[in-house]
Chains A and B, each alone.
Chain A
């Protein structure tokens, strides 16, 4: 492996054996990163590999003393105690979620927290003059008095960079800079980063879009499971996307799955030309003409990186509960159904278990029995009156069959562990007796033992002839569980692989490029 072949080039940053622990979890273990002055250095890794944590250590979000190891920057060991300290040294981080204030103008945002003053009063004339200069440098032709909310995400990203330039940045860190941008905006941004390189600004870029990395990066450091795996020199090593993917997923399957022999029937659920717009941004699409189908007894996986549009697709199908519906058809058993509300979707036989259990899935004030019946109160009611006895009996049944660990179904759901909460949510949806159950990250935040049980429940549902869609960021999980896997990239379905032809590499490839193979 050709790493760090030349010691002669000046190194601007060297992070030496950084280890960062959270209670119970080692987020980073002995990670090393070496960035040469004036290069574009990419950091690649799966979701949760530790990329963002590493950048937070570097930028002082996690202050000196909360990690072990050294940060050597410009030939000095640094001890950043907060973001201000790292910014003072010329390290600026631009987060995926932009830190701009929508109501303020471009100028006000650029100088926020850094306002030029004259005798204690903000000198807006000076600020405006300087922001015009900065906007010219990033190639943004906008009136500096325009409020941020009136310009698109792509331009907002440029304002963030202008803000960084104003702080005389030497090392610019971009966390998923193009995740929210369309192709032309992305290209413009990448060109700008290359342009800054020409002017001596070093950049670290974190991105899931491997084609972009291949295009602009000089070196790539790969992080996997909190460890730095390797550093590749793009030109010298002839790195391509496949090489990066191999580094990113090169681990053995560790999760265990219950044995399962699927009995797959006919296609009963079909979605055609599904197109949905972003709820706020006018002309951004979150689903682009997606087609997919599910057979009875089949577990279908949806693979895609965070933000690829998996959840958006699922929720928009589930009674238009996300985004602006533009076009598309849903067929159940060959007949077209229209689901314009969640109620209609439930009545049509759909269930959706959200990825965000705490904010979208549960009323944390409720107890187990109330939660269990909450999506199908009709079934336990006479007229408008809820039958408390039936409620108790139903909840008790599910507690036993799903082996939820709780002293009683009268306990509050907030007291349960993640795994048991998820069982209650599963019970809630199983009680609606859905034909198709969509599970969004069903094992997120759940320990290994409970995961195994949840896999068992999912397989049981499929055995009953129901269709199950599993959305997951964990590829081993999808590979172990699914009979067929769709891949999604930037809102479009880029491929579908059967269980026997899918591998982490083949999935990752489809998840990170718009190349169609199916």
Chain B
């Protein structure tokens, strides 16, 4: 027990969410008699959820800033069909079509950001309107038809890393990617440790670090093995690759850059942020715009995967993305949340979905179970906070460099009578 505590930074619940994910995977692995952790299923799981996870990345930033975006499904659908039409009617090559889709997303985001940030209409209303607007646009420009996309565009949503190099029985590129990830994790940890030492901050003991690295890298290598040994022609999927790149970029932006700091600051206390010189309107505009760009990307990946764009693409995606973010530890009031947390939250939902499907549980029961999981995850978090303990998710996220500190309520010293009175009253 003591060893575990040291491993996880003094609190075994620190990795609660990841434990939950691992436990869920193990549970389904056992009860589906090994059908969960097969190359085919894992590849499927990533392919089928990458667009929701991409939405969750944008959504967590929106939610950290204290807003919400209900329009992502409709925006994704509209961008998807606009891109499909552009390819069909204007003969755009796939890369130009992607660029066009991203620009359209940006334009839509600028529209929503304008109303939210500069006019001051709550994002809930703006994006509720957007949900109707862009669903309508999708069906208007597509005349409620399904528009197919060519094969090179489909690669975006259903492609795999190609087979190159010597025949090793593995997909070489996937293996290379896995090894790169391992190297990245190890050097990153070592560097962080070195600078922490140089600054005189406390560092965990060596064995703790080694065990941690072994666990993380073991997971990465196992995943690499699964992805690299799939049925011929499959390997690490392109949507997964896009997702991984986005997670790295947005994880970095949110935790390490000025703009990331400003997003947390505006969501945590807008007035205090403004009085510190943060331009909160600009920040709000940017997060809303970014969300729509990512929604456009998600829409295009979905179209690529399903080979065509239809009038009912993306229905209900906003709810999946929002659920992922909240399971991942974000706070409704803003200021709290991380990109990694939201991805883990999204994966919990995805594994749940997939596992229940494999077990042959109906869609009705699946929804009920997902609803309860969402409620339980957030309730657990709220309970922990009111108990004055750190939220597990908050602790978990702290480890990933985000500012996910949760505030235990502790009475402050008050010496002036007036303050005491105003508190009493």
Task: Give the nearest-CB partner of A415 in chain B.
Answer: B410
Contact assessment for A365 and B275 in the assembled complex, using a CB-CB cutoff below 8 Å? no
B119: interface (CB < 8 Å): no
Residue-by-residue, is B250-278 near A (CB-CB < 8 Å gives 1, otherwise 0)? 00000011111100110011011111110
A289: interface (CB < 8 Å): no
B200, B272, B405, B417: which contacts A48 (Cβ < 8 A)? B417
B279: interface (CB < 8 Å): yes
Contact assessment for B413 and A53 in the assembled complex, using a CB-CB cutoff below 8 Å? no
A444: interface (CB < 8 Å): yes
List residues of B whose CB falls within 8 A of some A CB.
195, 198-201, 256-261, 264-265, 268-269, 271-277, 279, 335-336, 403, 405-408, 410, 412-421, 424-425
Q: How far is the CA of A366 from the CA of B199 in the complex (A)?
A: 21
Collect the chain B residues with CB atoms within 8 Å of residue A419's CB.
413
Contact assessment for A27 and B420 in the assembled complex, using a CB-CB cutoff below 8 Å? yes
Collect the chain A residues with CB atoms within 8 Å of residue B420's CB.
22-25, 27
* 23 A-B contacts (beta carbon < 8 Å): A25-B414, A25-B415, A27-B417, A50-B417, A56-B421, A62-B424, A343-B277, A346-B277, A354-B275, A359-B272, A361-B272, A364-B268, A365-B407, A366-B403, A367-B403, A374-B273, A384-B259, A386-B260, A389-B199, A412-B407, A418-B415, A428-B276, A446-B415
Residue with the highest number of chain B CB atoms closer than 10 Å, among A61, A319, A363, A378? A363
A216: interface (CB < 8 Å): no
Q: How far is the CA of A290 from the CA of B210 in the complex (A)?
A: 65
Collect the chain B residues with CB atoms within 8 Å of residue A226's CB.
417
Collect the chain B residues with CB atoms within 8 Å of residue A62's CB.
424
For chain A, give the interface size range: 35 or more
Collect the chain B residues with CB atoms within 8 Å of residue A319's CB.
277
Collect the chain A residues with CB atoms within 8 Å of residue B276's CB.
342, 374-375, 428
Q: How far is the CA of A359 from the CA of B273 in the complex (A)?
A: 10
Q: Which 8 A-B pairs have the closest CB atoms?
A: A363-B268, A22-B420, A414-B407, A375-B276, A363-B269, A48-B418, A365-B268, A343-B277
A86: interface (CB < 8 Å): no
Contact assessment for B405 and A447 in the assembled complex, using a CB-CB cutoff below 8 Å? no
Contact assessment for B419 and A386 in the assembled complex, using a CB-CB cutoff below 8 Å? no
Q: A392-B199, A412-B405 are in contact. Are A363 and B414 (CB under 8 A)?
A: no
Q: How far is the CA of A361 from the CA of B412 in the complex (A)?
A: 16
B198, B264, B274, B407: which contacts A364 (Cβ < 8 A)? B407
Collect the chain B residues with CB atoms within 8 Å of residue A345's CB.
277
Contact assessment for A365 and B406 in the assembled complex, using a CB-CB cutoff below 8 Å? yes
Task: Give the nearest-CB partner of B336 in chain A.
Answer: A365
Q: How far is the CA of A235 from the CA of B419 in the complex (A)?
A: 36
Q: A27-B417, A370-B261 are in contact. Are A360 and B271 (CB under 8 A)?
A: yes
Interface of A is mostly: mixed
Residue-by-residue, is A434-474 near B (CB-CB < 8 Å gives 1, otherwise 0)? 00000000001111100000000000000000000000000
Collect the chain B residues with CB atoms within 8 Å of residue A117's CB.
none
Collect the chain A residues with CB atoms within 8 Å of residue B424's CB.
22, 62
Q: Chain B's nearest CB lies how many Å from the CB of A52?
A: 7
B195, B405, B412, B421: which contacts A27 (Cβ < 8 A)? B421
Q: Chain B's nearest CB lies how many Å from the CB of A202?
A: 25
Q: Could you tell me which residues of chain A, from 340 to 355, have a CB within 8 Å of some CB in chain B?
A: 341-343, 345-346, 352, 354
A504: interface (CB < 8 Å): no
Collect the chain B residues with CB atoms within 8 Å of residue A363's CB.
264-265, 268-269, 272-273, 335
Contact assessment for B405 and A366 in the assembled complex, using a CB-CB cutoff below 8 Å? yes
A47: interface (CB < 8 Å): yes
Q: How far is the CA of A360 from the CA of B424 in the complex (A)?
A: 21
A115: interface (CB < 8 Å): no
Q: How far is the CA of A359 from the CA of B275 in the complex (A)?
A: 11
Collect the chain A residues with CB atoms within 8 Å of residue B258's CB.
377-378, 381, 384-386
B195, B408, B421: which contacts A389 (Cβ < 8 A)? B195
Q: How far is the CA of A381 from the CA of B257 in the complex (A)?
A: 8
A181: interface (CB < 8 Å): no
B198, B199, B412: which contacts A396 (Cβ < 8 A)? B199
Q: A343-B279, A364-B269, A375-B276 are in contact. Are A22 and B407 (CB under 8 A)?
A: no
Contact assessment for A25 and B268 in the assembled complex, using a CB-CB cutoff below 8 Å? no
Collect the chain B residues with CB atoms within 8 Å of residue A337's CB.
none
Contact assessment for B275 and A352 in the assembled complex, using a CB-CB cutoff below 8 Å? yes
Contact assessment for A385 and B256 in the assembled complex, using a CB-CB cutoff below 8 Å? yes
Residue with the highest number of chain A CB atoms closer than 10 Å, among B200, B265, B336? B265
Q: How far is the CA of A463 from the CA of B335 in the complex (A)?
A: 38
Residue with the highest number of chain B CB atoms closer than 10 Å, among A359, A374, A386? A374
A30: interface (CB < 8 Å): no
Q: Could you tell me which residues of chain A, from 371 to 424, have a CB within 8 Å of some CB in chain B?
A: 374-375, 377-378, 381, 384-386, 388-389, 392-393, 396, 408, 412, 414-415, 417-419
Task: Give the nearest-CB partner of A421 in chain B.
Answer: B412
Q: How far is the CA of A418 from the CA of B414 in the complex (A)?
A: 8
Task: Give the nearest-CB partner of A446 in chain B.
Answer: B415
A16: interface (CB < 8 Å): no
Task: Give the nearest-CB partner of B270 in chain A.
Answer: A363
Contact assessment for B406 and A384 in the assembled complex, using a CB-CB cutoff below 8 Å? no
Q: How far is the CA of A396 from the CA of B196 in the complex (A)?
A: 13
Q: How far is the CA of A447 from the CA of B412 in the complex (A)?
A: 11
Q: Chain B's nearest CB lies how many Å from the CB of A145?
A: 30
Contact assessment for B417 and A360 in the assembled complex, using a CB-CB cutoff below 8 Å? no
Collect the chain A residues with CB atoms within 8 Å of residue B272's CB.
354, 359-363
Q: How far is the CA of A53 from the CA of B419 in the complex (A)?
A: 12
